[in-house]
Structure 1
Amino acid sequence: MEILLSALTGLLYAGGVYLILRRSILKFIIGIIFMSNATNLLVFLSAGIVPGQPAFVNGPQPETEQMADPLPQALVLTAIVIGFGIVVFTIALNYKFFQATSTEDLDQLTNTDA
């Protein structure tokens, strides 16, 4: 399972880099989303997949090797919120850019003064 998710992480990074290097701002935003999701998956995979019990349980305490680590989950949750904020910010910038230039394609820009 970890090998499959590692391959998926690599594909998301490759797709994200490819889309970021395109000349369309919309493809740039989708590339940022791919890179954000790939980074979240990488952080989650770095802790290892443990089909164990949650970290907080009632009753007898299980062995620590069988418990899931909550730190990578907290880091991924924080990264999801930060990534969503960055995507919303870039969408707002794209909206203002389109209002000012009437184009979404960077190749069609002839004047840099707005």
Structure 2
Amino acid sequence: MESLMAYVIGILFAAAIYMMLRRSIVKLVIGLIILSNAANLLIFAVSGMTRGAPPLIPEGAAAPLGIIADPLPQALILTAIVIAFGVLAFAVVLIHRAYEVVGNDDLDQMKDTDT
């Protein structure tokens, strides 16, 4: 399962870089979204893909019993998802405003306009 996840993460990173190198600003934002999802999957895969119980310590014990799931990668991924959503919302508003002003979503033509 880990090798399959490694291939999926590699394909997502390659697709994100390809999309970010396109000239359209919309494709750039789609590439950023794919890149953030690939980074989240990378954190998830590196942290280990074993099933485990919640990290709760029973009364009278010094440590959790049995195999537990590490909550830190889950918290990092949830935080990254929220930040990525905020960046996406800002980028969509920015793209919409830039398209209204320039009238085009091509990055090369946006650079050449003198408005």
Please, what TM-score do these two structures have when normalized by structure 2?
0.88
Whether the aligned pair in 1 keeps the contact of 2:102 and 2:113 (CA below 8 Å) is no
What is the aligned partner in structure 2 of residue 98 from structure 1?
99
SS in 2 for 1:50: coil
5+ unaligned residues in a row in structure 1: which ranges?
Answer: none
Q: Which residue of 1 aligns with 2:28?
A: 28
Distance 1:82 1:110 in 2: 28
Residues 34-70 of structure 1 show CA distances to partners (whole Å, capped at 9, x for unaligned) of: 000000011111111111212136678423xx10000
After superposition, give the CA deviation of every residue in 1:55-103 in whole Å (9 maximum; x if it has no partner).
136678423xx10000000000000001111111111110010010111
Describe the shift of the 1:100–1:32 C-alpha distance in structure 2 as closer, same or farther (beyond 3 A): same
User: C-alpha separation between the residues in 2 aligned to 1:109 and 1:26?
Assistant: 13
| Aligned counterpart, 2:44 | 44
- Counterparts in 2 of 1:1-114, with a 5 A limit? 1-56=1-56, 61-63=64-66, 66-109=67-110, 111-114=112-115
Scaled by the length of structure 1, the TM-score of the pair is 0.88
Range 52-61 or range 14-23, more displaced: 52-61
**Does structure 1 retain, via aligned residues, the 8 Å contact 2:29–2:88?**
yes
Greater displacement, 42-51 / 13-22: 42-51
- How many corresponding residue pairs? 112
User: What's the Cα RMSD here?
Assistant: 1.8
**1:110 Cα deviation after fit:** 6.8
